[in-house]
């Protein structure tokens, strides 16, 4: 009798284990949903949207702005998801866990001290990608990065310092840009970073990154309440459009001077100011992500 009981108990344990594994690997639900990566105070909520007719498209990870409204960003990307058969994942970097230095600038420097790479905010992203891949049972699911405003700043610094395997990194309307120059302090340039993060080889990799700057042609308010108006930021330009143009031109000339590969693109979107919903819904942003060259090549007026 004991032996039979042990067999039954073992069988139940196996069944429960299989059920638990299956539950952990459940696909991302259709429509709006969310999951968490990490535990306790380190948990990050990731809002998702999956089209009901989804059939194997890539993942687009969307990064919110200063308001930390990840769920709104996810909802604003529903038309993008439906048109292009993609899953949206929008992680929330809440102010309770990440201040502006830790979010917009990736936590690379905190209180004037360069942090170990594993402590950067960017180090949270591989686990988010892996969680989505496991849920969809697609270990090689391709992914794209898309951010607006503060999220655009996050992505520019990521492109420079934390290379991943994103097919495209699209930074929309960043309030300040990372120029490939060491005479400006980090956040605006490479100044203050260790040699291995700021030498010519590091800048060369930055210019070779698959980065697109999407700039609203009406994002020209020098007094916008959320605009970085520090002395360092003002060196970049008076407003976001001007700063983005100046950064792109500087980077392009640097690449030409040294004969370095230059994979950046610049897309200027008519009729859009500093409006995340409008920008994320623009056809030019869709083209920047997925490669309609006719739209991406829109000329500066």
Q: What share of the chain is helix, strand, coil (3-state, %, to 5)?
A: 45, 20, 40
pLDDT band, very low/low/confident/very high, at 291 (cuts 50, 70, 90): confident
Say what the pLDDT of residue 72 is: 98
* Tens digits of residue pLDDT in 234-280: 999 999 999 999 999 999 999 999 999 999 999 999 999 999 999 99
pTM of this prediction exceeds 0.75 = yes
Contact call for residues 196 and 248 (beta carbons, < 8 A)? no
Cα separations in angstroms, 251 against 150, 180, 189, 204, 260 = 21, 6, 11, 10, 10
* Tens digits of residue pLDDT in 154-195: 999 999 999 999 999 999 999 999 999 999 999 999 999 999
Architecture of domain 2-296: 3-Layer(aba) Sandwich (3.40)
Contact call for residues 157 and 178 (beta carbons, < 8 A)? yes
Contact call for residues 272 and 218 (beta carbons, < 8 A)? yes
If DSSP codes are grouped into helix, strand and coil, which group holds residue 113? strand
Say what the pLDDT of residue 15 is: 36
If we measure between CA atoms, which residue out of 121, 119, 141 comes closest to residue 27? 141
Say what the pLDDT of residue 242 is: 98
pLDDT band, very low/low/confident/very high, at 292 (cuts 50, 70, 90): low
**Whether the predicted pLDDT of 126 surpasses 70:** yes
pLDDT band, very low/low/confident/very high, at 85 (cuts 50, 70, 90): very high
Say what the pLDDT of residue 297 is: 40
**Domain locations along the chain:** 2-296
* Tens digits of residue pLDDT in 17-63: 333 443 455 899 999 999 999 998 899 999 999 999 999 999 999 99
Whole-angstrom distance, CA of residue 76 vs CA of residue 49: 10
Q: Rounded mean pLDDT of 208-222?
A: 98
Could you tell me which residue, 1 or 238, shows the higher pLDDT?
Answer: 238
If DSSP codes are grouped into helix, strand and coil, which group holds residue 160? helix
What is the four-CA torsion angle of 158, 206, 48, 43, rounded to 10 degrees? -20
Please, which residues have CB within 8 angstroms of residue 145's CB and are 6 or more apart in sequence?
Answer: 60, 61, 63, 155, 158, 164, 166, 168, 169, 170
- Return the minimum-mean-pLDDT range out of 87-91, 210-214, 291-295: 291-295
**Whether the predicted pLDDT of 7 surpasses 50:** no
Residue spans of beta strands (DSSP E) within the chain: 31-37, 44-50, 59-63, 87-91, 109-110, 113-114, 143-148, 169-172, 211-216, 265-269
């Amino acid at each position: 009798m004991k032996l039979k009981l042990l067999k039954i108990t073992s069988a139940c344990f196996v069944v429960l284990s299989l059920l638990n594994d299956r539950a952990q690997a459940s696909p991302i639900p259709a429509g709006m949903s969310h999951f968490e990566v990490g535990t306790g105070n380190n948990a990050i909520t990731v809002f998702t949207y999956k089209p009901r007719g989804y059939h194997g498209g890539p993942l687009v990870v969307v990064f919110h702005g200063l308001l930390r409204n990840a769920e709104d960003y996810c909802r604003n990307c529903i038309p993008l998801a439906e048109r292009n058969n993609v899953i949206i994942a929008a992680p929330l970097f809440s102010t309770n866990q990440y201040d502006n230095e830790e979010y917009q600038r990736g936590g690379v420097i905190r209180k004037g001290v360069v942090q170990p790479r594993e402590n950067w905010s960017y180090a949270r992203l591989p686990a988010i990608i892996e969680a989505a891949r496991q849920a969809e049972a697609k270990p090689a699911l391709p992914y794209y990065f898309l951010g607006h405003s503060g999220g655009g700043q996050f992505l520019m610094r990521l492109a420079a310092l934390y290379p991943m395997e994103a097919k495209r990194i699209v930074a929309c309307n960043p309030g300040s840009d990372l120029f490939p120059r060491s005479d400006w302090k980090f956040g605006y340039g490479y100044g203050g970073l260790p040699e291995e993060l700021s030498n010519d080889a590091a800048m060369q990799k930055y210019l070779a990154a698959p980065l697109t700057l999407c700039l609203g042609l009406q994002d020209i308010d020098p007094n916008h309440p959320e605009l970085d108006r520090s002395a360092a930021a003002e060196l970049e330009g008076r407003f976001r459009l001007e700063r983005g143009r100046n950064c792109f031109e500087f980077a392009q000339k640097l690449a030409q001077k040294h004969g370095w590969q230059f994979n950046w693109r610049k897309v200027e979107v008519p009729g859009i100011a500093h409006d995340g919903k409008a920008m994320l819904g623009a056809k030019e942003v869709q083209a920047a992500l997925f490669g309609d060259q006719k739209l991406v090549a829109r000329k500066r007026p």
